[in-house]
Amino acid sequence: MNDRRSFLKQSSLIAGGLWLSPSLLQARQKISPNEQIRVALIGANNMGFGILRHHLALPEVECVAICDVDQNVLDKRIKEVEEATGKKPERYTDFRKLLEKKDLDAVIIGTPDHWHCLIAVAACQAGKDVYVEKPMANSIGECDLMTQAAANYGRIMQVGQQQRAGQAFIESREFVKSGHLGKIRKVNIWSNFNYGLGNEVKPATPTPQGVDYDFWLGPAPKRDFNPNRFHGSWRHFWDYGGGLMSDWGVHLLDMAIWVEENPAAPSTVLTYAKNVNKENRDRDTFDTMNVLFPKKDFLINYDMNGGLQSGPYNKPYGIAYVGELGTLVVNRSGYEIYPEWDGTAKAAKCEVKKLEGTTESHNLHVANFVDCIKTRNQPSCPPEAGRLAALHAHIPNIAARIGAEQLIWDDAKRQFIGNNEANKLILPEYREPWTLPKL
């Protein structure tokens, strides 16, 4: 009878559209309380909930709380988790109250970028480990604060640059590091996506029922509600995000930094930025950017085109490691090596390699984080890696905002050389009563 009740319960969960298999539900029941990893989600509308689902696909992880300022999102997500796991997470609308929970090991931060720093630092101070979506934060200085907080409080912090867990990118890095492509001259990166144009202009509207919009704005400037600045499209405005550059740019630039001999901050950064498509678009950020990062090991060349969908090698986005012996082109679907031709030997200069059919690696990145919670080992994308990738996105955005073709960054001093206007954008001004975290 017990087996039948268990089967019926599991069947009803799956019939309800949930995402935990009967075998996983059975495995979860066998985990002792001492082995459980108790997580909470802060910011549950989109990517944050996707990351929570990957956490809950691990039998030792339990969701004990969800926090959001949109009651509609909060109701939906609590219901989904309860139906999937049989346990109802506690409900919070203020992350500070959530962080007071004693029976909590880690938090997932899936909020807009302008909230990452405040929540992550508070979580570290409360003794919680942190999985924070990329980019690490919405400014250079906030990334520094988060890096310091993780170190000061001995917390595990995984930044959501999940390509570090992807087979295609891991193998590509191995080809580069092993010398298979010869000396790397440059790394070409491109990202062409329609959504980079931003939404068409819309009028301000009343705040949707159930939304605490003032709390959603938090430290960002006070503004009337506009749907273009809310769910799904907030990243096109400097108050909350950095556009296509800090969304896809961080992921792809991270893969260039990852193959450096000693991953480092950029020094000289050359930027071209323009809004080419101006037809009824509502955005602060740019649809067209080209950025050059002359690094010690090679040149990084980043090419971004919002509103376009095609690109080199018939890929809308990708990375090309250009070596003396061949070029390796990779994106999340796989990679291929295009060898240079040796006219004298009448042969390819390196062996052709190809991988197809790879998929997203969020699940592996999450599994790495959970393992590091238990072992206290450094995760695959620790705070410093998140900081470096964010720097490579924020510096061009700052240059574009102030109209500077070149900026020189001194990473030791954490400031730009000879440009006070750029230095003013290293840290945001928080709206009262919110203040920058103090460590």
Calpha distance 216→230 (Å, rounded): 9
Q: In this structure, what token pair is assigned to residue 160?
A: 């959501």
- SS3 string, 305-352, reads EECCCCCHHHCCEEEEEEECCEEEEEECCEEEEEECEECCCCEECCCC
Report pLDDT for 6: 43
Contact in structure between 82 and 49 (CB atoms under 8 Å): no
Q: In this structure, what token pair is assigned to residue 276?
A: 């080419």
List strand residue ranges (DSSP E) for 353-431, in order: 354-356, 406-410, 415-416
Sign (positive or negative) of CA dihedral 172, 47, 41, 80:
negative
CATH superfamily of 2-163: NAD(P)-binding Rossmann-like Domain (3.40.50.720)
Which three-class secondary structure state does DSSP give residue 164? helix
Report pLDDT for 4: 40
List strand residue ranges (DSSP E) for 257-314, in order: 268-274, 281-282, 288-294, 299-306
Report pLDDT for 279: 82
Which H or E run includes 42? strand 37-42
Domain boundaries, the chain: 2-163, 166-358+383-423
User: Which letter does DSSP use for residue 61 in this model?
Assistant: E
Amino acid at 386: G
State the virtual CA torsion across 147, 152, 155, 156 in degrees, nearest 10.
Answer: 30
Calpha distance 141→147 (Å, rounded): 10
User: Which letter does DSSP use for residue 79 in this model?
Assistant: H
Per-residue pLDDT of the chain (439 residues; tens, 9 = 90+): 444 444 334 433 333 345 687 777 777 777 888 889 999 999 999 999 999 999 999 999 999 999 999 999 999 999 999 999 999 999 999 999 999 999 999 999 999 999 999 999 999 999 999 999 999 999 999 999 999 999 999 999 999 999 999 999 999 999 999 999 999 999 999 999 999 999 999 999 999 999 999 999 999 999 999 999 999 899 999 999 999 999 999 999 999 999 999 999 999 999 999 999 878 899 999 999 999 999 999 999 999 999 999 999 999 999 999 999 999 999 999 999 999 999 999 999 999 999 999 999 999 999 999 999 999 999 999 999 999 999 999 999 999 999 999 999 999 999 999 999 999 999 999 999 999 999 9
Tokens 């990517």 correspond to 47
Calpha distance 102→204 (Å, rounded): 41
Report pLDDT for 277: 86
CATH superfamily of 166-358+383-423: Dihydrodipicolinate Reductase; domain 2 (3.30.360.10)
Report pLDDT for 126: 98
Output the CA–CA distances (angstroms, integers) from residue 103 to 36, 68, 84, 301, 404, in the order listed: 10, 19, 21, 46, 49
Cβ contacts of 433 within 8 Å, gap of 6 or more: none
Q: In this structure, what token pair is assigned to residue 89?
A: 């997470």
Largest CA distance in the chain: 78
Report pLDDT for 19: 64
Calpha distance 111→300 (Å, rounded): 30
Same fold, 2-163 and 166-358+383-423: no
Contact in structure between 62 and 6 (CB atoms under 8 Å): no
Instruction: Identify the bridge partners of residue 355 per DSSP, sorted by sequence position.
Output: 335
What values do phi and psi take at 389, rounded to 5? -65, -40
